[in-house]
Amino acid sequence: MSRSPDQRITNMDGDAALPRDNGELVFQAPWEGRAFGLAVAMNEAGRYPWRDFFQELVAKIAEAREAGAPTSYYDQWLAALETLAVGKGFLTTEELDRRTAEYQSGRRADHH
């Protein structure tokens, strides 16, 4: 895959703007980059239009602000992706809970 970045993603603005430092994308931890790539890859694979993800992201950011929760941009990004994936019927929250617990307990390793 060598297509160049999608400007609808790189140019999101307002609260949804990607965190940057001196123009470069900033990921505070590897999982943030992974979550970023996952949402973009799902869009590129045609699983949902970017607009759907964007609207979900904006909604999550607004909810977090409302709640005054001390969460980061990519926490909301991940929450948006999860809600969208469940909403589109790609997986269920139960499946995701189970898989998360498997990683947490070490019953499943992160390499293949």
Partner 1 sequence: MSEAHSGEHHHETEPYAALRTKALESLLVEKGLVSSDAIDALVQAYEQDIGPLNGAKVVARAWVDPAYKQRLIVKGTEAIAELGFGGSQGAEIVVLENTPAVHNMVVCTLCSCYPWPVLGLPPTWYKSHAYRARAVIEPRAVLRELGLALDDSVEVRVWDSTADVRYMVLPRRPKGSEGLAEAELASLVSRDSMIGVAEAGPPSGVGQ
Q: Residues interacting with partner 1, by CB under 8 A?
A: 1-5, 9-10, 20, 22-25, 27-31, 33-38, 40-42, 44-45, 47, 74-75, 78, 81-82, 85, 90-91, 95-96, 99-100, 102-104, 106-112
Query: 71 phi and psi, to 5 degrees?
Result: -110, 160
Comparison of 38 and 59: residue with beta carbon closer to partner 1: 38
Are the CB atoms for 75 and 29 separated by under 8 Å? Answer: no
Task: Find the shortest distance in angstroms from Cβ 66 to partner 1.
Answer: 20
Are the CB atoms for 56 and 86 separated by under 8 Å? Answer: no
Q: Which residue has the tokens 């001196």?
A: 22
DSSP category for residue 16: G
Task: Find the shortest distance in angstroms from Cβ 21 to partner 1.
Answer: 8
